[in-house]
Amino acid sequence: MALPPLVEPAAELSVDEIRRYSRHLIIPDVGMDGQKRLKNAKVLAVGAGGLGSPALLYLAAAGVGTLGIIDFDTVDESNLQRQVIHGVSDVGTPKAESAARSIAEINPLVNVVIHNTALDRDNVKEIFSQYDLIVDGTDNFATRYMVNDAAVLLGKPYVWGSIYRFDGQASVFWEEHGPCYRCLYPEPPPPGMVPSCAEGGVLGVLCASIGSIQVNEAIKLITGIGEPLVGRLMVYDALEMSYRKIKVRKDPNCALCGENPTVTDLLEDYEDFCGAVSVEAQEATAGSTITARELKDWQDSGKDIFLVDVREPAEWEINRIPGATLIPKGEILSGEALAKFPQDRQIVLHCKSGVRSAEALAALKTAGFKDAVHVQGGIVSWVNTVDPSLPSY
């Protein structure tokens, strides 16, 4: 459905702006009025990573007057495969600052506001209130639910995107005109069920595909043209090169925007709501967790260890801890691999960061391997504290 323009037009465009945006101005649906609305718009990008990179570049090029960037992370070498707003010289610098420099090169007429901080319960409302529209490029469920809840509570529209390997999704959530994110996903998935991009990977160019769709939707909302993806979920498969749209209806029983909402303010702890690991995993790791340094000490002392890497084969090819055996988490949870575990050796599990190994540990303990342990921080901790020569990812 068509919606009214989100913002009022600016008073005028300068001669430089008319020259710069001439290809917009000659489009009848955009024209001078639409470009003035873009100039007057204030858009916040949550994240300057995979989705935030192309979104920020094209929002700036389009002439959005004020661009906010919130990101507390620093540029890492592994980001450069997909986060095209950053370059080699930016490695080690704050992403928000790196992104701001790139935007200035593309369009110095844009006012950039840097929020070099983590978005959290204490600041999300104050930051969101400064903007007309939110573009969500986050990569974890806790932040996605917080972004949604804050946007609904403040009456702000936001453009959402998600990517994983070869698949992408995008939609527009605006409680005043349609469903919110909780209508689509009332509950987060069980911990460990949906790997992050850091664990499962993402095709770099997929970020551009979904990020550009997010910008397209933002421009439509700001200028009041076309039919935004309100009430529709766009699903993209890069391998099949297919797009399909799924209708999403407002849920009358939604905990946030339904007829009798039970969520009337931000949650106290979104990490707890989404569950970094399951309750079973938390219980299993209590008293059964060692550090990477302790694992190295065990190896050096000759302790009889059966070290198991529960990551996927593609990750195993990138790096591995010496002496480890690869048994993917899925084979442990299904019970398929339980016969491979000895009863007379110290079992030590590890993954990339400690989440998947915690879930696998819970399954092993249920199966009777009561003395099994896992490595806190996984191979990331091993690289940081034991062997920095190993490549990271």
Q: Whole-angstrom Cα distance, residue 200 to residue 113?
A: 32
265 Rama sector, left if φ>0, alpha if ψ -120 to 50, beta otherwise: beta
Main-chain phi, psi angles of 248, to 5 degrees: -120, 120
**Annotated catalytic residue: which of 183, 197, 254, 257?**
197
Q: Is 150 helix (H, G, I), strand (E, B) or coil?
A: helix
Residue 36 CA to its chain's centroid (Å)? 31
Q: Is 197 a catalytic residue?
A: yes
Beta-carbon count within 10 A of 247 CB = 8
Beta-carbon count within 10 A of 384 CB = 13
As a dihedral over the C-alpha atoms of residue 294, residue 295, residue 300, residue 305, rounded to 10 degrees, the angle is 130
**Annotated catalytic residue: which of 183, 254, 274, 351?**
351
Main-chain phi, psi angles of 94, to 5 degrees: -60, 135
- Residue where the block lists tokens 């992408």: 168
Active site residues: 197, 351
